[in-house]
Amino acid sequence: MTKEIWANLPVADISKSVDFFTKMGFTKNDKFPFTDTMASFFIGEKSKFVMMLFRNDILEGFSANKISDTLKGTEVLFSIDAESPAEVDEMLQKAADAGGKIYAKGGEKDGWMYGGGFIDLDGHRWNLLHMDFSKMPK
């Protein structure tokens, strides 16, 4: 039934956001045009999750709702499955180098998970998590 899942994110500046997510290593989705009002990236290996970036005013126009103030609350938390603790740390470093902010440094959680988190240029929060199910308590 579902071919793809799209997350439509509001951003203040398409060009800066494209630069940020390119530096993060996200794959540009050439199926959609990159303009001053929109851009698109794939998230994950199978290219089934599509992130659409829309300038704030454009997204407000078709969502029929105001954009959330990310300084006051979190509208969504994206979680990305990492292959290893090292990949979590690498992605956190990429986010910081690209101008994002780290809200949770990489660290072990509950003996079987390793994770951390960053905030992109528009305040959207991202969680990176490596899970070693062989160590998961039963």
Q: What is the mean pLDDT of each run of 10 residues along the chain (138 residues)?
A: 80 97 94 93 83 95 91 90 95 97 95 95 95 87
Token readout for 88 is: 């979590």
- Which residues are CB-contacts of 70 (< 8 A; sequence separation ≥ 6)? 119, 122, 123, 124, 125
pTM: 0.87
61-76 in b/e form (b: 16+ CB < 10 A) is eeeeeebeebeeeeee
Q: Which CATH architecture has domain 5-63?
A: 2-Layer Sandwich (3.30)
Q: What spatial distance separates the first Cα and last Cα of the chain, rounded to whole Å?
A: 34
The CATH number given to 77-135 is 3.10.180.10
Token readout for 76 is: 């969504």
Other C-beta atoms lying within 10 Å of the C-beta of residue 23:
14
* CATH code 3.30.720 region(s) in the chain: 5-63
